[in-house]
Amino acid sequence: MVAVLLVLVWVLSRVAPAQMPQAIAGGDVLSVLLGDAKKDLSGAMVREADSYFHGGVDMDCHHLHDHHEHDHAHHDHEDQAEEDHDHKTESFDPWRWINAHIRAPEIDRHLDGGKAVEMMPWFWVAIKSDPHNIEAWSTAWYAAAHLMKDEALALRIATEGQRLNPESLEMACVLGRAYRAETTRDQVKSEAMFHKVIELAEGKKELEEGDELPLFSALGYLADSAKHRKDTHELTVLLNKARQFSPNHPTTRAIERMLEAR
Amino acid sequence: MKGSMRRIGALVKLSLLELWRRNDMFALLVLSLVLLVPLSLARPFGASGATRYFDEVALLLVWGYSLFIALGIGGRLFTSEFANRTVYPLLAKPISRGELLVGKFLGAVAASWSALAFFYALWAGSSLLRGGECLTVCFFQAFILHALFAALAVAAAVAGSFLLTPSASTTLLAILFPAMFFFGRHLPDYAENVSGVLRGLVNAFYWVAPHVEFFDMRQRLVHGWGGVEVGVFLAVVGYGVVYSAVLLFLAHFLFKRKRL
């Protein structure tokens, strides 16, 4: 019965999308089932992949841990002092204690090498749920390229992600980086993608949060290539563009130094 | 004492037969195959070699099935006896209400555990076929805690069937248990974000609600962390036993007061 209803909704949304604005026209079964919740599902799947990266440890539970047993590498002294203070004021909670020991043991292992493939199903579901989840695409590419060292897989992910998100600076930058890899190297395509990042940035009235990193990465890669080609003109053009976006950015300063060294 | 044990034993045997004669197990098995076979063939982005997602989904299904079976059996234990009026000839025999309750509860638990053992054996078999290592301390700890969860769910269903109508009780527990399973550990965080009476209510609920998430060792099993420390394991076992016993006493109290 439910299946019949779902098929009916899907067919009607295809046949008469204007009459059924509540149905997501052109969507797949997930769209019909979940609607806008797909974005939340996609985010949850990326968090699941992150949990897999940390050896399956429930990261939400880590903060529940007794601080005497807690020894996470990226905790600095300030955090530790704050945590000490919190623990002195908190009373013992047996339920919290059990949960922390069952679900978040003090292991410090990360998936790397071929084992990182375990994250891929979750990235795949994240991307299927929301093809515009840039974080999912870029993290999946990172896992393939840098953890699994599978550059062909990384290139496939980057190409598909960029195809589905042609307006994303980050995806264009990711694809540019994928073309720079050793086994999939294609300098022309790589530089074309980095130029596309700059074009996309120039086409925007104002840079959005998260645009700066891919933009200056692209400028940095292009400047590096120009430096190797001893192309002073290209370096000058890139420096002017970098100054236009942020005159005091470290990449802008780095390009200035490259030109001074010429 | 010997007669009492024999009567309880007969009730346990009846419950076991009832579960395996029904089509529930067959339907769940077919559902598993329909869901898991395509899942096992999935090659996300064309990459092969991922197995943990499959183990995690399969174990989540086993959790769902165990809850379905435990609530179904527990909820039906007495309601069908009252509806069919078969409870009268049962109590007319030399069997006390306490013996009937304990016998039926143990029978329901034995039936749930047999189903659980069947699904864990299937999971272990599939893991072995994929070259995994499954008969570890962690595996047996996971099974024991899961079995305690099933006993707790049966006890809750029995107690619920005396407090509410069967459908209301099963529906309520079918919402409460998964909610606690997924969100129980976050209740203190929710309490921090509300104020006044609501905060007090959330905190009170946190202390008395059944923390079924304690029994979930899926992550340990899937990611091969090894078993939980003995102290923690015994604490969870104690929690499960005490909680189930309290629910059974509540059921006994309600059954004794019930006019037949």
| Chain A nearest C-alpha distance from B64 (Å) | 19
Q: What is the pLDDT of residues B147-195, one digit of tens each?
A: 999 999 999 999 999 999 888 999 999 999 999 999 999 999 999 998 8
Residues A224 and A91: their CA atoms lie apart, in Å, by 56
* pLDDT beyond 90 at B113: yes
**What is the per-residue burial (b if ≥16 Cβ within 10 Å, else e) of A100-129?**
bbbbbbeeeeebeeebbbbbbbbbbbbbbb
Question: Which residues of chain A are within 8 Å of residue B47 when distances are taken between CB atoms?
Answer: 117, 120, 144, 148, 150, 153
CATH numeric code, A166-262: 1.25.40
Q: Report the pLDDT averaged over residues B1-29.
A: 79
Q: What is the pLDDT of residues B86-108, one digit of tens each?
A: 877 877 777 788 888 888 899 99
B225–A124 C-beta distance less than 8 A: no
Structure tokens at A50: 């992150």
* pLDDT beyond 80 at A1: no
Give the per-residue pLDDT at B134.
75
Q: Report the pLDDT averaged over residues A154-175.
A: 95
Q: CA-nearest residue of chain B to A57? A: B219
Q: pLDDT category, A230, cuts 50, 70, 90? A: confident
Give the per-residue pLDDT at A70.
41
pTM: 0.80
Instruction: Indicate the DSSP class of residue A128.
Output: H
How much is the mean pLDDT over chain A? 81
Q: What is the pLDDT of residues A55-97, one digit of tens each?
A: 887 666 655 554 444 444 444 444 444 545 555 556 789 999 9
Classify B181 in phi/psi space as left (phi over 0), alpha (psi -120 to 50) or beta. alpha
Q: pLDDT category, A231, cuts 50, 70, 90? A: confident
Where in chain A are the domains?
A: 1-33, 59-103, 166-262
Give the per-residue pLDDT at B143.
96
Residues 16-35 of B with CB under 8 A from A: none
